[in-house]
Amino acid sequence: MAQDKADPSKYENHLGIPRRLIPWYPTIDADRCTACGKCGEFCLDDVYGNLPDGSYGVVNPYHCEVYCSSCAHACGVEAISFPDRKEIKATIKELRKTYPPG
């Protein structure tokens, strides 16, 4: 039976704007992180996974749903931070000039 997985191409754009142009993704403070895995447990977009060096962290930053922040809420040691929403809003507004909606 085929597993219900998100088609990666679905993450390519955010409301008509190429997703990679929007710098919204979680950043992990390595000093605080205990590698408990709660972030990955609560993320439904496959953002988290095993990194090449064997540690656990962000593997698909642009799968992250803009403004979601579920992982930051799930983290028990406040190791996860996100960019300022106002900056992201301004970036999206600027990108709209090149990528109008519709």
**Can you give the binding site for another protein, defined by CB under 8 A?**
3-7, 10, 15, 42, 44-46, 63, 66-70, 73-74, 85-86, 89
Tell me whether residue 28 or residue 38 sits nearer to another protein (CB atom): 38
Q: Which is nearest to 30 in space by CA: 83, 82, 84, 80? A: 80
Distance between CA atoms of 9 and 45, rounded to whole angstroms? 12
DSSP state of 50: E
- In 1-102, the DSSP E strands lie at 13-14, 17-18, 27-28, 48-50, 56-58, 80-81
Distance between CA atoms of 66 and 5, rounded to whole angstroms? 19
Tell me whether residue 16 or residue 30 sits nearer to another protein (CB atom): 16
In whole angstroms, how close is the CB of 95 to another protein at the nearest point? 13
Tell me whether residue 30 or residue 85 sits nearer to another protein (CB atom): 85
In whole angstroms, how close is the CB of 91 to another protein at the nearest point? 11
In whole angstroms, how close is the CB of 28 to another protein at the nearest point? 18
In whole angstroms, how close is the CB of 50 to another protein at the nearest point? 14
